Structure 1
Amino acid sequence: MDPKDRDILPDVAKPKHYDLSLFDLKLGGSWQYKGTLKIDTVVTKSTSEFVLNSKEIEVQSAEVSPKDGGQSIKFSGVSYDEKSERVTLKFPQDIAPADVILTIEFTGTMNSHMAGFYRSKYKPPVTPSLATPKDGDQYYMLSTQFEACDARRAFPCFDEPNLKSTFDFEIEIPKDLTALSNMPVKNVRDGSSADLKFVSFDRTPIMSTYLLAWAVGDFEYVEATTERKYNGAGIPVRVYTTRGLKEQARFALSYAHRTIDYFSEIFEIDYPLPKSDLLAVHEFAMGAMENWGLVTYRTTAVLFEEGKSDAKYKNRIAYVVAHELAHQWFGNLVTMDWWNELWLNEGFATWVGWLAVDHFHPEWNVWSQFVAEGTQTAFQLDALRASHPIEVPVKNALDVDQIFDHISYLKGSSVIRMLSSHLGQETFLRGVASYLKAHAYTNATTNDLWSALSKASNQDVHNFMDPWIRKIGFPLVTVTEEPNQISLKQKRFLARGDVKPEEDETVWWIPLGIKAGPKSTVNEQQSLVAKSDTIRGIDEQGFYKLNKDQCGFYRTNYPPERLARLGKSQDLLSTEDKIGLIGDASALAVSGEGTSAALLSLVEGFQNESDYLVWSQIATSLGNLRSVFSANDEVAAGLKKFIVKLTTPAVEKVGWEFRPDEDYLTGQLRRLLIATAGHAGHQETVAEAKKRFDLWASGADKTAIHANLRSPVYSINVAEGGQKAYERVKEEYLQTDSIDGKEIALLSLGRTKDQALVKDYIDFLFSGKIAVQDLHTGAVSMAANSKARVTFWEFIKANWPLVEGTMSANKVVLERFIRMGLSKFADEAIEQDIINFYKDKDQSGFDRGLVIVSDTIRTNAAYKARDEQRVLEWLKTHGYA
């Protein structure tokens, strides 16, 4: 977008350097602090006022001093614009263009909203330092979260990504606590009283305000050193936790130092800072934040306890660590010019994060996981009219939080995977390295990346990637078979199947990746670059398949007979191919361009499948069927019978016991199949889950439930076992000391079918005993429970002031709660009720989420109306109903 269209600060002053000192921290009570800020500023136009970003900050004084000496000018007044989050400092005379020092004295608050400079409460597993802030039995740590627009919540600043500066930072804290920031500690001096100290840090490289970070707490750490040498020495890498948890940080540490070395190699630029710290934060709205040199994480994204944590969190931690460390180059060293190019940061870090995990764990088959969890999730949102282009115009930075979504992250990374596959990974990374070198310590645009990749590949990357980035949606490629050839047509895919001509004007470059013949050979360079084309030399009697390994970001619609034949050619399909086939069939059933019958027939052929990630896609597709048709008891019962028959061979084969030499994916398959079969009513699975739960719940055998099976066993028992099982899992939520235990218990509690317990669960969510960061988990569990959705919505309507008040201080959490909690309905009357309820409410921060909810419900309702009877007929014909 044109920079003139951005709502940005006046261009009369540009910061070069910040010197920030925080002191007199009230660690309890008001939680206020004082600050002194000196900004080395270039005044570019004569002005009598400075406008900075500021939120919930009170300015006590301000003055301007010429940098080359001379008389200081004290401010004559201050005004605040709360809506635009700006403060205007007024001076009694014009300040001429020059280098000046702007000095501001201010007061701020360490809030409890997971944004800005904030406090996190926690219950320590061991006795903490006496200096640790405390309130009742809750202790506190302090940390920051500034992306996208919350540095201004901690200190007044020029809070825009392309207004980069260097930073000196110091903070006054109790002597027994630890302070961290982006850079190593420079020195420690006495504070204003005997029990206080000032900790100051080395100057940062030039960087955006949103990457500045600090933390204070009763911290300990585990440490490793990079194997690679940087300026002749290894870089210290530490994972910090509050006291008593550091041993759970060793798993993350084992990846962090190796990941830094790996990225230094493939980006051809050494890690740019003298240290790398990772910090576990007890209350955290996101998954993690890439602050340069001090990456902060939600505890479940960085801590793991062998024997107590579910092994799936190993995969998550390895990926999240890699994603955030990738940002140290792609985002921090080179930063997007403006928030409309957020995808440059997030899409790339997502793709290269998985690249690193694949490098360390090829046996995890992460690209299949990426297709099943990443690409398919991106497809879901991008198939709605409510979607947006990857590169979305952002006029006001305050609107950006709602585009930290599946389009920026997952569609962005999917099209990068498509491009990398087309250019070749080595060529692609060579272009990325050139881009990083050319724009180090500055800001860059999507076009800058395309230029570097074009040069590296000798191809016009701009030409074939621009529609993918700047146009909404993605294509459906429809295949028609003719003698010795196939005809292909592309059009925009919409989940409702009702694309209008004016919505279908984009012509995408589509890499076809056609596998054909008995040896499944591929022509890598064949592309569809028009609305339609014919590919000759394809034997329509033999094997062929488009979109090898689901590298292209598009759906494929085959003739029904071809889809059936592909389902019987599984030996010629990769895991990604199978996931893509099932995902496409599922999406086409929803849109009406395929049928649920075709999906069920295809899936029926996977009864003997042994791959976890294929089963993951099957479970997702069948879960959507069960959700949409849940109100029809006959269809619901038939689908359960279908799933029981489908899963029985696989669940009996995988069994309940974990072997010491078993690979990670087998363990994940066991967890998934037990959950899928158990919730469909597979009697042996339900009986075993109840037996193990009873042994554990009674105390007869505390080891009866393997750590990896807590999720299926708890949830099956809550769904099948009434109040006793519900209360025991609720007790587990309140008492567990395992890092992932609360998340697992909360999701399981939402499975109850008892309306009284559904109401109790919803009340529990808003009882103050659930961390605000976890409320969206509760919303997910309510949405997934067809017996609870309406009750949940009625509660939200009746208690909106409570719901909004609990989460409104952090709109990211509120938007996620609304979007995830309300989008599983398949009833247009409820969709209209949602619209009517919110039309006179302040929707700021979640208005996009409401549009997505409406679009999704209308899509589900249209699918239900069209296919409900057809599904029932298929189930009856095949003996399931």
Structure 2
Amino acid sequence: MVVFCLPSLAAKRLGLQPVVCATSGLRNLYGGLRAFNRLSSSPHDIRNPKLLSSSLAALSRTFTMSLEYPESKFRLPTNVKPTHYDLTVRTDLEKLTFDGAVTISLDVKQETKTIVVNSSKLELGPATAQSSAHKSEQTSSDTSFDEKEKRVTFSFPTAFPAGSRAKVTVGFAGELTGSMTGYYRSSFVENGETKYYSLTQFEATDARAAFPCFDEPALKSTFAITLVSKKDTVNLSNMPATAEHVFSPNEHGALKSLFPDLNEQWKVTKFDTSPVMSTYLVAYANGPFEYLESSAKMPLSGKTIPLRIYTTKDLIHQAQFALDVKARVLPMYEQIFEVEYPLPKLDTLVANDFDAGAMENWGLITGRTSAFLLDPKKADIAAKKRVVVVQSHEVAHMWFGNVVTMAWWDYLYLNEGFATLMGEVIIEEFKPNSEFISEHLNRALSLDAKLSSHPIEIFDGLSYSKAASVLRMLSNYVGEEKFLKGVSLYLKAHLYANSVTNDLWAGISQATGKDIIKFMDNWIGFPVVSVTETANGIKVRQDRFLETGLAEGEDNETTWSIPLAILTIGADGKPIVNKTAVLDTRERTFELDTSKPYKLNAGTNGVYRVLYEDARMSKIAAEVAKSDSAFSVEDRMGLTFDALALSKAALMKLSSALNLIDALRNEEEYLVWDGISTNLSSLAAVWWENERVLNLLNAFRISLFLPFVKKLGYEYSDSDSPDISQLRTCAIEQCLSAKDQSVIDELKGRFAQYMKNGNDSVIPADLTKAIYRVAIKYGGRDEYNAVRAIYDKAPTPTARIAAMLAMCQSRDQALIDETFGLILTGSRDQDIMYFVRGMSANDITKRQITKFFEKNYDELCKRFESTFMMRYLVEGTYGGLSTQKDLDEMNAFFKDKDTSRYHMGLAQSLDSIRAKIAYIKHSSADLLDYLQAWKQGN
């Protein structure tokens, strides 16, 4: 799954939420269950995965358990094991309801009279059961619901003996709500009329909200799905359709018994039986979809795999780019993993309403419009990157997650970390390995530097960025070829089964001959490596790094195995990297010639920061200033990010970090400037209420970036490289943020031209966000209405997001209040995060958004009770605050709240405010002195 929300990653609900189940109703359904049960196919034999138990040791502090004898209260009983599902679902898009029946084939492991399954928010009928040990069918004598754990227990008169097989059939019904979880509805507008379609989103624990099931990742089964729908709609599922026909009133049998009111307005679509898979990967959808089609010739199997992308008629013209990406990466992954793609097709469904970014359902990827749609003529590079990354990420999951699945949710990073790594580096146009440093490594280190950090097994940004960064470090240490060979060995050893951390390390150990399990132990938090120069070389020491300084006491007990990757200069003047140097003790010395340039963490592949002495930092600054610097683009990026992070932690003077940035004035690489831009924007966000400092900092920013604006101008050409286009955008946006009047006037003038004649050719795609923002911030009612009109009828997802963010930048309180009202009544649930982020970026509304959130807290909690959103709202609402008063008021507000649904986001937000308070305290004087001296010298 890809989730991009504030900033671009998210948490997954591991706890089990309250459930609404009922036993009443379903009389029509129950009347047909006996016939349906008799006609269901026999139990399917599937590979029985090897049952594993593993201590997570320091890599995991949660859910240490055996797969056979689970200790966690979140696990179902192990008296039976599912092997196959026959699932029939009828969808009524007019009534916005669904109903159906599921027959689950079971292997009985222990004698039992009870069958316990997961169920949530469904109306259920009694269960009927057949057994290989009994001649007659029996009906459940009692049904009990555990609302807290989302379980239903069916009790039967006669026990099922151990070693027997059973088939249990249950009817169900539910509503198609707008929850964006389970089986839900999404809406679109056609000819002024709101219309609906339906789709599933089951990860992590919402398959149970669509049909009763054994909703745990290790309980894999095969699935045979039948969808019943109105005949003018399209049905989709994981597998290809094997048969489809319009229902005839003369038909008899199971379906007629199950749905007595069927007539010729309905059709029946049967899909092929799937391989064994987890319930969270089951997917189906129904609606007026259209599609584009392509194919991919697979290098191992030689098969041609049909590829489609589906969405509604109004959006299908924007889907070709994502389809082309999928056609390109699918065969690449088969070649890399050396495992054949196992399904006969791969579809993508694009949805108007989608809580996450995208979801890797096997054979039917789903996701939101901004993840998969763009108009190539109007799309900026950022939008193209997003589609490439998301589509590549989800296709990688077809192997890493779907063929081999984590044993339990605490191993989710096995899926997400690897898919993130592969999704980022598979396409070469955008220098992905370099960009990974800013997109993931630095983001992971920023999050992991908080005292509230946690193992990468818990689902949030660390599951994606930290896990991917650790894997990237490992790949660089052992070599990419051996790393991927180890991944292939891991996949082949656990085909269609479930795995734990050490299984992956074992595969890479086999490929490399190294003890990877020992090497990869303990990556909770991360170290800073302090470098002290000696007479013969350097002494290095590791300590846990926190954004407020070095960890102390029990928080600093970990010792990591750190690949130092020491870069030195050889006799021929060329860089040499020692990849064998590993720091696996607290301190160690290494011999090297300190009279020449050197650097640790060459290529910035390691998951750690490096702290040099002041004298060495001055030499590093001099080296990066050279046109023929020994330090690569990745090195220069890493040095910049490290310097600012170390200054925030009071381990380096902020003035030293700014001196390094100043030395990079002649830098030409976009990605280095992107890192500088990110860091300077962060400084401005910390000192946003100190006018004296902020004015000087803005002047410093303008001095760095305005020369690029003057050199590159405002016009984009097809002949521009991606680097040139992105550098132009970066420079303009940085000057705009720093309030350069020439840039403001240019962008205001372009929007004025657009308002005058409606011609958007004066608004380059890559400057859409900046121009909309200027229009609102420095305009009035007319500009606001113009951007609001774009929001209401945006030509592309990118334009809509840009409009949402821009509307939050007004300085007119009446317009601000209007936007706040839009958050509550006029925005899609999936879009509220953009409004919160926009309000948090406006100095006028930075604290107003907190009051808005607190005033409407109960309503927001109810609105987002079943989605990821509350965590993002907490992080986005409070993320911009920076004073002790803010901290005290935040603590007071949440003191009596149930924070269990967003406790990690709350803890990290509190940590962020504390770090800013400390940063302001220890670095304000140094920052002011540096900027004043710089100003006087210029």
TM-score category (smaller protein): over 0.9
1:600-611 alignment to 2 at 5 Å?
600-611=658-669
Question: Does the alignment pair 1:484 with 2:540?
Answer: no
Deviation string for 1:542-568 (max 9, x for gaps)?
Answer: 201111111000001111222232223
Cα contact 1:179–1:214 (8 A) shared by 2: yes
Could you list the runs of 5+ residues in structure 2 that have no partner in the other structure? 1-63, 248-261
Rate the CA distance shift 1:231–1:497 in 2: closer, same or farther, 3 A. closer
* Structure 1 range deviating more: 753-762 or 85-94: 753-762
Identify which of 374, 383, 388 aligns with 2:449: 383
Corresponding residue of 2:413? 343
SS in 1 for 2:843: coil
Corresponding residue of 2:464? 409
Q: CA deviation at 1:177?
A: 0.8
Corresponding residue of 2:284? 214
Whose RCO is larger (CA < 8 A, sep 6+)? 2
Corresponding residue of 1:512? 564
* Structure 1 range deviating more: 429-438 or 224-233: 224-233
Question: Does the alignment pair 1:728 with 2:728?
Answer: no
Question: Does the alignment pair 1:102 with 2:165?
Answer: no
Cα contact 1:221–1:246 (8 A) shared by 2: yes
Corresponding residue of 2:349? 279
CA distance in 1, matches of 2:760, 2:305: 42
Question: Does the alignment pair 1:22 with 2:79?
Answer: no
SS in 2 for 1:766: helix
Question: Does the alignment pair 1:679 with 2:679?
Answer: no
Corresponding residue of 1:707? 765
Corresponding residue of 1:779? 836
SS in 1 for 2:760: coil
SS in 2 for 1:553: coil
Corresponding residue of 1:52? 117
Question: Does the alignment pair 1:839 with 2:895?
Answer: yes
Corresponding residue of 1:117? 183
CA RMSD of aligned residues (A): 1.7
Rate the CA distance shift 1:101–1:26 in 2: closer, same or farther, 3 A. same
SS in 1 for 2:198: strand
Question: Does the alignment pair 1:532 with 2:587?
Answer: yes
Q: CA deviation at 1:706?
A: 1.1
SS in 2 for 1:786: coil
The one-letter amino acid paired with 1:652 is K
Q: CA deviation at 1:492?
A: 0.2
Corresponding residue of 1:474? 526
The one-letter amino acid paired with 1:260 is L
Identify which of 614, 625, 643 aligns with 2:683: 625
Identify which of 180, 187, 195 aligns with 2:243: 187
Q: CA deviation at 1:659?
A: 1.8
Deviation string for 1:620-651 (max 9, x for gaps)?
Answer: 11111111111111111111111111112122
Q: CA deviation at 1:834?
A: 1.7
Question: Does the alignment pair 1:267 with 2:337?
Answer: yes
* Structure 1 range deviating more: 64-73 or 438-447: 64-73
Identify which of 849, 853, 872 aligns with 1:796: 853
Question: Does the alignment pair 1:178 with 2:243?
Answer: no
Q: CA deviation at 1:230?
A: 6.5
Cα contact 2:133–2:160 (8 A) shared by 1: no
CA distance in 2, matches of 1:508, 1:753: 49
Deviation string for 1:566-603 (max 9, x for gaps)?
Answer: 22322222221111111111111111111221222111
Identify which of 707, 713, 725 aligns with 1:667: 725
Corresponding residue of 2:503? 448
Corresponding residue of 2:41? none
1:107-256 alignment to 2 at 5 Å?
107-124=173-190, 137-191=193-247, 192-228=262-298, 232-256=302-326
Corresponding residue of 1:64? 129
The one-letter amino acid paired with 2:728 is R
CA distance in 2, matches of 1:180, 1:324: 18
Question: Does the alignment pair 1:330 with 2:400?
Answer: yes
Q: CA deviation at 1:404?
A: 2.8
CA distance in 1, matches of 2:396, 2:526: 27
Cα contact 2:706–2:732 (8 A) shared by 1: no
Q: CA deviation at 1:68?
A: 6.2
Could you list the runs of 5+ residues in structure 1 that have no partner in the other structure? 128-135, 392-402
Deviation string for 1:787-808 (max 9, x for gaps)?
Answer: 2111110111122122223322
CA distance in 2, matches of 1:879, 1:525: 45
1:560-709 alignment to 2 at 5 Å?
560-570=614-624, 571-699=629-757, 701-709=759-767
SS in 2 for 1:878: helix
Question: Which segments of structure 1 move beyond 6 Å, counting only runs of 4 or more?
Answer: none
Question: Does the alignment pair 1:9 with 2:76?
Answer: yes
Identify which of 855, 868, 872 aligns with 1:816: 872
Identify which of 422, 437, 441 aligns with 1:352: 422
Identity across matched positions, percent? 37
The one-letter amino acid paired with 1:863 is Y
Aligned length: 848
Q: CA deviation at 1:180?
A: 0.6
* Structure 1 range deviating more: 741-750 or 698-707: 698-707
Corresponding residue of 1:752? 810
Deviation string for 1:397-430 (max 9, x for gaps)?
Answer: xxxxxx3311110000001000000111111111
Identify which of 507, 515, 520 aligns with 1:465: 520
Cα contact 2:300–2:338 (8 A) shared by 1: no
SS in 1 for 2:319: helix
Q: CA deviation at 1:498?
A: 4.9
Cα contact 2:321–2:376 (8 A) shared by 1: no
Cα contact 2:853–2:877 (8 A) shared by 1: no
Q: CA deviation at 1:783?
A: 2.1
Cα contact 2:283–2:361 (8 A) shared by 1: yes
Q: CA deviation at 1:506?
A: 0.9
Cα contact 2:292–2:319 (8 A) shared by 1: yes
Normalising by the residue count of structure 2, what TM-score does the alignment of the two structures yield?
0.88
Deviation string for 1:56-100 (max 9, x for gaps)?
Answer: 011112111114661111112222222111111122343322200
SS in 2 for 1:546: coil
CA distance in 1, matches of 2:537, 2:897: 56
CA distance in 1, matches of 2:302, 2:529: 54
The one-letter amino acid paired with 1:432 is V
CA distance in 1, matches of 2:568, 2:480: 23
CA distance in 2, matches of 1:700, 1:273: 48
1:856-875 alignment to 2 at 5 Å?
856-875=912-931
Deviation string for 1:454-501 (max 9, x for gaps)?
Answer: 111011001110112xxx200000111123311111000001115122
Deviation string for 1:312-340 (max 9, x for gaps)?
Answer: 11111111111101111010000011111
Question: Does the alignment pair 1:38 with 2:103?
Answer: yes
Cα contact 2:400–2:418 (8 A) shared by 1: yes
CA distance in 2, matches of 1:43, 1:848: 39
* Structure 1 range deviating more: 344-353 or 719-728: 719-728
Deviation string for 1:199-228 (max 9, x for gaps)?
Answer: 110000001000000011111111111133
Rate the CA distance shift 1:625–1:722 in 2: closer, same or farther, 3 A. farther
Question: Does the alignment pair 1:371 with 2:437?
Answer: yes
Q: CA deviation at 1:656?
A: 0.7
SS in 2 for 1:660: coil
CA distance in 2, matches of 1:485, 1:313: 47
Question: Does the alignment pair 1:854 with 2:919?
Answer: no
CA distance in 2, matches of 1:544, 1:231: 48
Q: CA deviation at 1:293?
A: 0.4
Q: CA deviation at 1:232?
A: 4.9
Normalising by the residue count of structure 1, what TM-score does the alignment of the two structures yield?
0.94
SS in 1 for 2:106: strand
